[in-house]
Structures are given as C-alpha cells and as structure tokens.
C-alpha cells in the first residue's frame, strides 16, 4: 500500500503543476534551459553523467533528464540508465525546489565464482544493491526526487542535493541521497 501511495504522489504533483502553470512561466528564456551535470548517488544509484532540459522556453517548469552511470568493484559491475521527468519551482530564478519521478535500468553482474570445477554453479541472485533487492542481471526500478538546486539565472555553475527514494517489486528504499554538480546553459 505504501508503494502505491509513493507512486501516486508524483502523478498528482505532475497534473497539478501542468494544469496551473501550462501558460505562465515566471522566468522565460529564448530557448529551453539545459543542464549537464555529474551526480553522486541519486537516481542512478552510484555515479552518473546526466543531461537535462525544460520542455518550454523557461528556466523553471517541467522537464526531462537522462543519464549514464555505474560503478565497478572487485567482483561486481553495475551499469545504470536513469530516465525521468522533473519540475523546477522557483521564486527568484536562483534557488529551485526540484521534484520528479522516473525509472532506472540497472545491469548488475557478479563475477565472483565460489564454485569449484564440477561443483554447483550458484546464482548470486537475489542480491542487495544499495539497499534494494535485485532478482536478475537486468532489472528496472523506480525513483522519486525531492531536493534543492542552486542554478544561476544567467547560466553557469549549478549544484544541488536531493533525497531520491528507490523502489521495485521487492520493496522500497526511502533513504537514498544524491549530490549534483554541473553547468547550466541559459539563453536570454
């Protein structure tokens, strides 16, 4: 039941934001605001390189983001592909509240082999990836975003921090954070 509520909340926020601010943006620009940034933690679990753009010619409002990420360890390899929708809300075009939701494709490979020649080949799955149980090599999980972003009105260096809960068919991981740092491209 808690997962259903967590899934419905972003949709309610989406329709409220879309219906009330479709025709009015406080900070219009000559083209949609675009951002590139790296993210530690966040929607892609580990380290991500992300691209983001607004749908309208504005620095605030609705937009999308997509990225590539992952990490490797001694016996593990993880590749992530986060995709999501987000909304930026602001009063001064510098300090933004960010909220959003999306999905992340996760490829998890365990290269450790604890079997012996002729012995049983034991599957490592299910496996725990940062608090979320994964049943197979390729999986998809959902994510939410609630955070703060500092983004200059004329473009330039941007940064932010967010709480990014993750969920899949095996459960809900509410305590996960992300830190981002990058560049915002503005065209006035």
Q: What is the pLDDT of residues 87-100, one digit of tens each?
A: 999 999 999 999 99
Res 131: pLDDT:
66
β-bridge pairing 61-72 and 138-150: unpaired
Q: What is the pLDDT of residues 138-183, one digit of tens each?
A: 889 999 999 999 999 999 999 999 999 989 888 888 888 999 999 9
Res 91: pLDDT:
92
Residues sharing a CB contact under 8 Å with residue 156, sequence separation 6 or more, in sequence order: 183, 184
Give this prediction's pTM.
0.79
β-bridge pairing 95-110 and 156-163: unpaired
d(CA 41, CA 121): 32
- Token output for 22: 């479709």
- Token output for 170: 């095996």
Domains and CATH numbers, the chain: 2-20+28-113+123-185 (2.40.160.20)
């Amino acid at each position: 039941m808690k997962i259903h509520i967590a899934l419905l909340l972003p949709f309610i926020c989406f329709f409220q934001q879309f219906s009330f601010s479709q025709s009015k943006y406080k900070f219009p620009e000559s083209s949609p605001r675009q951002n590139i940034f790296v993210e530690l933690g966040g929607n892609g679990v580990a380290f991500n390189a992300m691209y983001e753009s607004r749908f309208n010619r504005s620095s605030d409002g609705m937009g999308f983001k997509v990225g590539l990420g992952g990490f490797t360890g001694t016996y593990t390899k993880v590749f992530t592909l986060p995709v999501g929708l987000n909304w930026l809300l602001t009063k001064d075009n510098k300090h933004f509240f960010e909220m959003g939701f999306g999905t992340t494709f996760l490829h998890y490979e365990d290269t450790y082999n604890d079997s012996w020649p002729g012995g049983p080949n034991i599957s490592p799955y299910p496996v725990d990836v940062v608090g979320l149980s994964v049943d197979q090599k390729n999986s998809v999980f959902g994510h939410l975003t609630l955070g703060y972003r500092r983004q200059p009105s004329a473009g330039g260096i941007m940064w932010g921090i967010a709480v990014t809960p993750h969920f899949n068919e095996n459960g809900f991981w509410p305590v996960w954070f992300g830190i981002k740092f990058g560049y915002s491209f503005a065209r006035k």
